[in-house]
């Protein structure tokens, strides 16, 4: 029987575990920029949604998206390695995309490490197009690829 996944908006006590997931799963080899204070700021910010996924009460994924007037920017998305290939990332992203459509957003953009072929394939499978290679994007050391999806 598949595990029940609960998607909810993050609350301030979620800031530290989200930041630790970012440090351990996304920011590996880079300076830690998504600290608990920064995540807490996003949770409080009216223009940003911080969505979390829980399975059996345990945080197994999260996504942070900034909403502009016509465009949104997916700032972070991470899923616990044990939960990957269980549609957690897809469900987080679909929830945010639905919110973006309701808000009248026309496009969503994001950046991913150029060498992260798994993440690039994940986003392409969900309709995102790679539009630009950005050398030295991460800490002046590592390239990123920008992806965009029109809603």
Token pair of 3, please?
């595990």
Q: Tell me the pLDDT tens digit for each residue of 80-119.
A: 998 888 899 999 999 999 999 999 999 999 999 999 999 9
* Residue 16 falls in the annotated catalytic set: no
- CATH code of 5-150, in short, is 3.40.630.30
* Residue 94 falls in the annotated catalytic set: no
pTM of the model as a whole? 0.94
| Cβ 102 vs Cβ 88: under 8 Å | no
Active-site residue identified among 111, 130, 138, 142: 111
Active-site residue identified among 27, 123, 128, 137: 123
Token pair of 15, please?
């800031």
Query: In terms of DSSP H, where are the helices of 22-145?
Result: 36-44, 88-102, 117-125
């Amino acid at each position: 029987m598949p595990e029940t996944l609960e998607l909810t908006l993050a609350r301030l006590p979620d800031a530290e575990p989200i930041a630790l997931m970012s440090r351990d799963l996304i920011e590996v080899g880079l300076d830690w920029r998504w600290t608990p204070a920064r995540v807490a700021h996003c949770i409080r910010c009216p223009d940003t949604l911080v969505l979390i996924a829980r399975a059996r009460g345990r945080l197994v994924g999260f996504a942070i998206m900034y909403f502009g007037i016509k465009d949104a920017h997916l700032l972070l998305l991470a899923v616990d390695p044990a939960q990957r290939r269980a549609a957690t990332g897809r469900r987080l992203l679909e929830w945010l995309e639905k919110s973006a459509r309701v808000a009248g957003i026309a496009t969503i953009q994001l950046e991913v490490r150029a060498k992260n072929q798994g993440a690039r394939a994940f986003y392409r499978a969900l309709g995102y197009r790679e539009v630009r290679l950005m050398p030295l994007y991460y800490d002046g050391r590592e390239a990123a690829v920008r992806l965009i999806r029109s809603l």
